[in-house]
Amino acid sequence: MLLLCGQFAYAVQTLTIYTEQFPPYNFSNKGQLQGINLDITRTLCERVKVECQFELLPWARAYQLAQNNSAAGLVSTARTVQRETLFQWVGPLVSSRTFFYRLATNKHINPTDLNQVSAYSLGLVRGNVYEQLVYEVGFEADKNLLQFSHHYEYMNLFFKNKIDLILGSEYVLDYQLQQFGHGGKEVVKLVELPVEKLGGNYLAFNKAVPKEIIAQFNVQLQRLREEGEIDSFKNLYIHN
């Protein structure tokens, strides 16, 4: 391992890990980058003895740079079929199940399976990883699927009762609701969106990063699991 890391350090002095504002997995809190998956990634860098610097950017920019920078990674990244050959993968990291939600006051909105959700309007960030999945269950862009540049935009309309449904993972939605001053009782969890095709959250590395290093990251991640440390990272941010 030391030999491998020494060879890598000679070729690349520092890895740049790009990330986005995506609490609780990775986010900036008073200028400090933190989050479940970011903390895990930082620990992996230390264990593999590779110097890593972290940079928070809008998703589209971070995604592009991770593909263009030969000494870069991206966290947290959903592993999809479309992305499979674009990166080398370390993971899975931490993720959670995804559901459709409505306002608690809108009791008339009550789909009980995926065949019924497209009877209502849904707000989503343009280019969101869930986009293809909601098309598959019947949503159509500019019809019942309203797309925005940022989740703040559709959340505002949702709480103004102008969009019927929102979509989010259990962990992420809790943080988004807190940003709007809500504790979670204002929304009702409805139908789960199966996300098997997404493969969970990963640390995605540029294809030029040596495969030996990718292997060592995965080895150390498995050791974190075996040591029971993954739950320790989660418990810092998720309070049931």
pLDDT tens digits, residue range 90-118? Answer: 999 999 999 999 999 999 999 999 999 99
Separation between Cα atoms, residue 84 and residue 173, nearest integer Å: 26
Residue 10 confidence (pLDDT): 42
Please report how many Cα atoms fall inside a 13 Å half-sphere around the Cα of residue 177, on the Cβ side: 19
Q: Give 125's pLDDT tier (boundaries 50, 70, 90).
A: confident
Residues facing 201 on adjacent strands: 78
Contacts for 220 with CB less than 8 Å, ≥ 6 apart: 44, 47, 48
Residue 203 confidence (pLDDT): 98
Residue 195 reports pLDDT greater than 80: no
Closest Cα partner for 217 from 24, 49, 26, 2? 49
Q: Tell the residue number behind the tokens 């943080």, with chain if given.
A: 175
List helix spans (H) across the chain.
2-11, 36-48, 59-68, 114-117, 131-136, 151-159, 170-179, 211-226, 229-235
Q: What global pTM score does this model have? A: 0.82
Q: Give 122's pLDDT tier (boundaries 50, 70, 90).
A: very high
Question: Mean pLDDT across the chain, nearest whole number?
Answer: 90
Residue 6 reports pLDDT greater than 50: no
